[in-house]
Amino acid sequence: MPNQNIVIDKANKYYPGGVHAVNNMSMEISEGEFVVFVGPSGCGKTTLLRMIAGLEDIHGGTISMGGRVLNDVAPKDRDMAMVFQNYALYPNMKVYDNIAFPLKMRKAKKVEIDAAVREVARKLDLEQLLERRPGALSGGQRQRVALARAMVRKPKLFLMDEPLSNLDAKLRVQMRREIVGLQSELGVTTIYVTHDQTEAMTMGDRIAVMRDGVLQQFDTPEVIYDRPANLFTAGFIGSPPMNVWPLGEGFPLPPGMTPPDRATHAGIRPEFIVPADEPDRQAVQMRVRGVERTGRETLVFLEREGLPDLAMAAGSDFDARPGDSMRVRLRTEALRFM
Amino acid sequence: MRARKWLILCILTFVAFFLLTPLWLLVSGSLMGGAEAAQNFAPVLENAEGSAVWPLLPKYPTLQPLVKLLLDSPEFFRMFWNSCLQVFPLVAGQIFIGAPAAWAFARYDFRGKKALLLLYIVLMLMPFQVTMVSSYLVLSRLSLMDTVWAIILPGAASTFPVFIMTRFFAAIPASLTEAAALDGASPFRVFLRVGLPMGAPGILSAVVLGFFEYWNALEVPLTFLKDPTNWPLSLYLPSISADNLGISLAASVVMLVPALLIFLFGQKYLEQGICAAGLKEN
């Protein structure tokens, strides 16, 4: 059997009014990989997911899986399962029937359906809820049922459209871990859409950062965080985002460091700005504009006329107050160019 | 606040009293014996002197008119059966034809959809009198005049239930039908397994409104059914003479029963349907 890689080749999508929702998108997703589409609202991530699912027409380019072009294949024949943001559970059916629905549609035998439903219900801790209707479930339980319905028929691809956005923060963290665990256990290729960069960073094997329908960067979370390809990725991934300034302004580059030819900006992550001692000649004096304590770390926002504002991430015990003056140093080995 | 609540209650009770009075008089009249009825209503029916009296309770309550109607009026049963034979298949036909049409309007985009929907609305707003002649000619050419099909076929193709059901189908979240499509359901199965159960309130609204319209219809059967043996129950009441006033009132009560049952069963859906159609009455 050929590998089931997903290949998106110059895919385009236009909406009425000339909106170019997906613009010449190309990427290859390997079989078994967990890929996250991330970007701000309106960046085209959900549209691309729906194009892969067959819920939106493709207006140019191709999307294929295992070498088979899917452009004209009906959603039901694509062997994909999708988890929707609002769960999309059938309210007229019990949990058991919701989970069994994809197998019934494929005319599986009753015995097989029952075995598959009970197995997936056990895996997702839904055994006690099988006779209830979706209306009688909590948000987290509904989410599990939606996952169970997607998993029950062992599709070639899972598509997840912001499945955790309706859950509270604590449950979101828990479900995040569960989804990653299940995906790794099942080994099914998964495409996950979110606007939450923490979800993207913690869940994905690779992340596709998108903006205005254009792919900005497609790489592992480590590379995207450490070496953002452009200003947008540098600003979108990381909280607070990377400190960025135009080359030639702001902080001078250390002697011997030459930026790449096409680079226009330099940047550094907040954790690579450190307090400096008096005799440090590379340090600069800056004023503390604000301080945010997250418990695990202290974020210090610095300013000085003629220099770009900086965000510094220090330890939780770091003591600074707005209005203080302090010397800081940029760890130049962590400087990046875009 | 409490006083206001009482005031509203009083006003509503007053209005309800006026609305319920005819119904009460109908029931009390149906329990009135022939002689008592003749005596009470003589000034109206026989131009006798004095004024008619309609007591809240008959002086000598009797089930005689009801017994006579149910046991001694074969034409009543024939017409009751005619009504059932015309109205139930008609309403079933409305759903059978209307639900897929409404689903198409609600869930699919196709060329000419807006124009077609406008045409449906225009047809829905046309009173029977406007389409009467053309319907008559078509039915006559198809040799369906004076048959039960003359009532059922035009009624089943009515655009009103399509309009009602379209509103309900359109309110079903797209993600549900999309989920079903991805789960392997064909478009027809999506309609069958998701559309119909989720749109059930709309379908029931259409059933209730359709039933009321055709159960009480006078003009349509009068126009298309010449033979009185085919007439529905709605035409039985006008055909009763003044001598049988008690039977007439008992027949009215019996005729009300199915409508009342449908109303009690489908009140919620009826309200939803009226809201969806934006109409006060059908």
CA-to-CA separations, A279 to A256, A282, A329, A331, in angstroms, rounded: 22, 9, 12, 16
The domain spanning residue B240 has which CATH number? 1.10.3720.10
Same domain? B134 vs B184: yes
Residue B58 lies in a domain: yes
When pLDDT is averaged across residues A195-218 and rounded to a whole number, the result is 95
* Residue in this structure with the two tokens 């008619």, named with its chain if needed: B52
Partner residue facing A102 (CB), from B183, B197, B198: B183
**What superfamily would CATH give domain A6-226?**
P-loop containing nucleotide triphosphate hydrolases (3.40.50.300)
pLDDT of the residue at B35: 79
Number of other residues whose CB lies within 10 A of the CB of residue A305: 5
Separation CA A163–CA A172 (nearest Å):
9
pLDDT of B280 strictly over 50: no
Q: Do A105 and B185 touch (CB under 8 A)?
A: yes
* pLDDT per position as a tens digit, A226-254: 999 999 999 999 989 999 999 888 787 87
Rounded to a whole number of angstroms, the distance from the CA of B108 to the nearest CA of chain A is 13
Same domain? B124 vs B158: yes
A187-191, A269-273, B263-267: lowest mean pLDDT where?
B263-267
Of B10, B35, B62, which residue constitutes the final position of a domain? B62
Judge whether B182 is closer than 8 Å to chain A, CB to CB.
Answer: yes
Among residues A214, A240, A211, A242, which one has the least CA distance to residue A226?
Answer: A242
Is there a contact between A81 and A102 (Cβ–Cβ < 8 Å)? yes
Is there a contact between B276 and B164 (Cβ–Cβ < 8 Å)? yes
What six digits make up the tokens of B69? 């109607």
Same domain? B220 vs B126: yes
Residue B260 lies in a domain: yes
Q: Do B178 and A85 touch (CB under 8 A)?
A: no
**Do the domains spanning A6-226 and A242-248+265-337 agree at the CATH topology level?**
no
Q: Give the three-state DSSP class for A128.
A: helix
In the sheet where A336-337 sits, what is the strand order?
A: A243-246, A265-268, A336-337
Rounded to a whole number of angstroms, the distance from the CA of A81 to the nearest CA of chain B is 6
Separation CA A120–CA A151 (nearest Å):
7
Q: Which of A25-29, B68-72, B231-235 has the highest mean pLDDT?
A: A25-29
Amino acid at B9: L
What percentage of chain A exceeds 70 in pLDDT?
A: 99
Residue B68 lies in a domain: no
Q: Which of residues 52-71 of A touch B (CB under 8 A)?
A: 53-55
Same domain? B141 vs B26: no
Judge whether B185 is closer than 8 Å to chain A, CB to CB.
Answer: yes
Pair type for strands A307-315 and A19-29: unpaired
Give residue B281's pLDDT band: very low, low, confident or very high (50, 70, 90). Answer: very low
Partner residue facing A105 (CB), from B175, B178, B183: B183
* pLDDT per position as a tens digit, B120-129: 989 888 888 8
* pLDDT per position as a tens digit, A141-175: 999 999 999 999 889 999 999 999 888 888 889 99
Partner residue facing A76 (CB), from B186, B193, B200: B186
What six digits make up the tokens of A38? 């991330």
Judge whether B171 is closer than 8 Å to chain A, CB to CB.
Answer: no
* Residue in this structure with the two tokens 């059914």, named with its chain if needed: B225
pLDDT of the residue at A59: 95
Residue B156 lies in a domain: yes
**Residue B175 with chain A: CB contacts under 8 Å:** 84-86, 88
Q: What is the dihedral of CA B152, B157, B162, B163, to 10 degrees?
A: -100
When pLDDT is averaged across residues A1-18 and rounded to a whole number, the result is 90
Separation CA A13–CA A45 (nearest Å):
11
* Biggest CA pair distance of chain B: 79
Residue B67 lies in a domain: no
- In chain A, where the domains are located: 6-226, 242-248+265-337
pLDDT of the residue at B282: 33
Of B62, B82, B98, which residue constitutes the final position of a domain? B62
Q: Do B180 and A91 touch (CB under 8 A)?
A: no
Separation of CA A321 from chain center: 34
The CATH code of domain A242-248+265-337 reads 2.40.50.140
Range(s) of the domain holding residue B55: 2-62
Judge whether A142 is closer than 8 Å to chain B, CB to CB.
Answer: no
B184, closest residue in chain A (CA to CA) = A76
Judge whether B144 is closer than 8 Å to chain A, CB to CB.
Answer: no
* ipTM of the prediction: 0.84
Give residue B279's pLDDT band: very low, low, confident or very high (50, 70, 90). Answer: very low
* pLDDT per position as a tens digit, A61-119: 999 999 999 999 999 999 999 999 999 999 989 999 999 999 999 999 999 999 999 99
**Residue A73 with chain B: CB contacts under 8 Å:** none
pLDDT of A279 strictly over 80: no
Number of compact structural domains in chain B: 2
Among residues B220, B217, B218, B208, which one has the least CA distance to residue B259?
Answer: B208
Is there a contact between A171 and A140 (Cβ–Cβ < 8 Å)? yes
Same domain? B33 vs B154: no
Same domain? B143 vs B242: yes
